[in-house]
A and B are shown apart, each in its own frame.
Chain A
Amino acid sequence: MSSVTVDHIPPHAGHDEHAHHVPRGWRRWVFATNHKDIGTMYLIFSFCMLMEGGTLALLLRTELFEPGIQFFQPELFNQFTTMHGLIMIFGAIMPAFVGFANWMIPLQIGASDMAFARMNNFSFWLLPVGAILLTASFFVPGGANASGWTMYAPLSLQMGPGMDFAIFAVHILGASSIMGAINIIVTILNMRAPGMTLMKMPLFCWSWLVTAYLLLAVMPVLAAAVTMLLTDRHFGTHFFNAAGGGDPVLYQHVFWFFGHPEVYIMILPAFGMVSQIVPTFARKRLFGYASMVYAICAIAILSFLVWAHHMFTTGMPVTAQLFFMYGTMLISIPTGVKVFNWTATMWRGSMTFETPMLFAIGFIFVFTIGGFTGLVLAVAPIDIQVQDTYYVVAHFHYVLVAGSLFALFGATYYWLPKWCGHMYDERLGKWHFWMTMISFNITFFPMHFLGLAGMPRRYADYAAQFTDFHQIATIGAFWFGLSQLLFAYIVIKAFRGHGAPAPANPWEGAEGLEWTVPSPAPYHTFVTPPQYEASH
């Protein structure tokens, strides 16, 4: 967040004579072009997908409660595993961040809306189509895609029509992401309020600008990879078919050239959110704003250079292993800069611990654990030992759940008063945080031990020695899942008006243009661009 004060904002900058025009009924949503409406739809959609992906996760944990096959045959178990990953990544986490981008970027930069409002509508409405395709694939002959979310060849070349559904869904969701990325880049570069230079922009906008470039660069690579899978399956090509002169390992290279930046697509906006929340509740300017921006850019650039650390076991020259190993370790430097800056922002601040701040601190603490296990995995000889074990599962859930999801929860509580005009129930919010934090660690921390002991991922059955840790993880998972119903209750309660009316700026230490408009934010904001003047 830029450490700025805002003045010279016209007193009615938040709304004008256009503000009374609000479409009614179903047309408001189907033909929505208002960034706030589209943002709301993104967020509702992503929460629904979180519930669907979460249900699949609980089915997995149910089966894994005891060794042996209890409820689901391994084929169905693998379908659940695959769809859990695809739905959570493409249906829940990514759309949730785009929802926040839609809601907050125009408000933060003083724009009246996104640059391409109709394309914004199209980007959103592609999502349910992709989600229906993914979900419907369970009901086709052979069931859903069971090759893992990575869809590695040659397994993915041998599956039934469920694989084609998944490929088409990825195409559609990828097209949606590319259009969303174009919209965000153009909005940020062309539509900032007068006086808001790039280096005065809130860090959430910066993180999304860089993320949008990442999306634009790698989603076409994924689209190409899955299209080649499709042509290999149905049109006689042999990109990944060794029998025809192709190479299955090529798929892994192409996929992870997308896949590793994708990891940062799912975490950079979370960094931006935490960078907004921490200064607010520490009541201090963000420590090292410029270094935060440069760290985001450095992480993005490095993310293109480390993809093969996912592939150490495929075999590669030692020099290549060293390159990818050290490249991966290098990412910890800009990431460390960010963790240091958040900590330094809190240092000697007048801190209070409202729910957004709890989630932000929880994020810093637990995400850092995930970062450290990432460093362990970066070491090629260790990675070869724990490849495809629960250690990897633990690592990426520490990064994606405690990272992305915690930041999303924190940001929801942070901006909820601006969205609905009412404060959430702080007591219940704190309950939600602590239940989430404790149950998350109960679920995923034992997985480190499982992985180090040799428990492979994507297995429906296991040796009896793993039973205890699996049972702990399953109990934690159900607790975690049920805790999210509390989150839904808190949000719905606030939207129904059960809570104190929120002032324009409900947080003592919050700065930025979004807090200059009334709460809830009027339907049309900044129709006349505000003059943004920063004190620093």
Chain B
Amino acid sequence: MRDMTPEQRRRNRRLGWILALCAFAILVWTFVRANLYGVGS
């Protein structure tokens, strides 16, 4: 988008990465929790 300032882009990217990391953490957490009951037992 042409109208966003560099500061706006930085803020957007920062929040976007934080949210993406949260999603990834939930993915990993699900595997870890399932592993406690399933494949490792």
Q: Contact residues of A with B, CB < 8 Å?
A: 18, 33, 112-113, 115-117, 178, 181-183, 185-186, 189-191, 216-217, 219-221, 223-225, 227-228, 237-240, 244-247, 250, 254, 527-528
8 CB < 8 A contacts A-B: A185-B15, A190-B8, A216-B23, A227-B31, A245-B41, A246-B38, A250-B34, A250-B38
Minimal Cβ-Cβ distance residue in A for B22: A216
The 3 closest A-B pairs by CB, nearest first: A224-B30, A239-B38, A220-B27
Give, as a whole number of angstroms, the nearest-CB distance from A208 to chain B: 14
Q: Please determine whether B39 and A113 come into contact, CB atoms closer than 8 angstroms.
A: no
Question: With A220-B27, A228-B31 in contact, is A182–B1 under 8 Å at CB?
Answer: no
CB contacts (< 8 Å) of B24 on chain A: these are 220
Question: With A186-B15, A190-B8, A190-B11 in contact, is A220–B30 under 8 Å at CB?
Answer: yes
Q: Please determine whether B16 and A220 come into contact, CB atoms closer than 8 angstroms.
A: no
Interface size range of chain B in the complex: 20 to 34
Distance, CA A268 to CA B41, complexed state (A)? 39
Distance, CA A225 to CA B31, complexed state (A)? 8
CB contacts (< 8 Å) of A217 on chain B: these are 26
Minimal Cβ-Cβ distance residue in B for A248: B38
Proximity bits, B1-32, A CB within 8 Å = 1, else 0: 11110001001100110011011101100110
Distance, CA A181 to CA B16, complexed state (A)? 10
Q: Please determine whether B23 and A178 come into contact, CB atoms closer than 8 angstroms.
A: yes
Q: Please determine whether A216 and B19 come into contact, CB atoms closer than 8 angstroms.
A: yes
Q: Please determine whether B38 and A220 come into contact, CB atoms closer than 8 angstroms.
A: no
The one of B2, B3, B11, B19 in contact with A182, judged by C-beta atoms closer than 8 angstroms, is B19
Question: With A190-B12, A224-B30, A224-B31 in contact, is A112–B1 under 8 Å at CB?
Answer: yes
Distance, CA A240 to CA B20, complexed state (A)? 28
Give, as a whole number of angstroms, the nearest-CB distance from B7 to chain A: 11
Question: With A182-B20, A527-B3 in contact, is A221–B30 under 8 Å at CB?
Answer: yes
Give, as a whole number of angstroms, the nearest-CB distance from A250 to chain B: 5
Question: With A220-B23, A239-B38, A239-B39 in contact, is A18–B11 under 8 Å at CB?
Answer: no
Distance, CA A528 to CA B23, complexed state (A)? 33
CB contacts (< 8 Å) of B11 on chain A: these are 190
Give, as a whole number of angstroms, the nearest-CB distance from B20 to chain A: 6
Q: Please determine whether A115 and B16 come into contact, CB atoms closer than 8 angstroms.
A: yes
The one of A116, A221, A247 in contact with B38, judged by C-beta atoms closer than 8 angstroms, is A247
Distance, CA A463 to CA B39, complexed state (A)? 42
Q: Please determine whether B34 and A228 come into contact, CB atoms closer than 8 angstroms.
A: yes
Give, as a whole number of angstroms, the nearest-CB distance from B13 to chain A: 8
Give, as a whole number of angstroms, the nearest-CB distance from B29 to chain A: 8
Distance, CA A247 to CA B39, complexed state (A)? 9
CB contacts (< 8 Å) of A186 on chain B: these are 12, 15-16, 19
Give, as a whole number of angstroms, the nearest-CB distance from A22 to chain B: 14
Minimal Cβ-Cβ distance residue in B for A244: B39
CB contacts (< 8 Å) of A224 on chain B: these are 27, 30-31, 34
Minimal Cβ-Cβ distance residue in A for B20: A182
Distance, CA A182 to CA B24, complexed state (A)? 12
Q: Please determine whether B12 and A237 come into contact, CB atoms closer than 8 angstroms.
A: no
Give, as a whole number of angstroms, the nearest-CB distance from B26 to chain A: 4
CB contacts (< 8 Å) of A33 on chain B: these are 1
CB contacts (< 8 Å) of A223 on chain B: these are 27
CB contacts (< 8 Å) of B15 on chain A: these are 185-186, 189-190
CB contacts (< 8 Å) of B30 on chain A: these are 220-221, 224-225, 254
The one of B2, B8, B16, B38 in contact with A18, judged by C-beta atoms closer than 8 angstroms, is B2
Q: Please determine whether B39 and A246 come into contact, CB atoms closer than 8 angstroms.
A: yes
Additional A-B contact list (13), CB under 8 Å, known A190-B12, A224-B34, A239-B35: A18-B2, A117-B1, A178-B20, A181-B19, A182-B19, A186-B19, A189-B15, A190-B8, A216-B19, A220-B23, A220-B27, A221-B30, A246-B37
CB contacts (< 8 Å) of B23 on chain A: these are 178, 182, 216, 219-220
Question: With A186-B12, A225-B30 in contact, is A250–B37 under 8 Å at CB?
Answer: yes
CB contacts (< 8 Å) of A178 on chain B: these are 20, 23
CB contacts (< 8 Å) of A245 on chain B: these are 38-39, 41
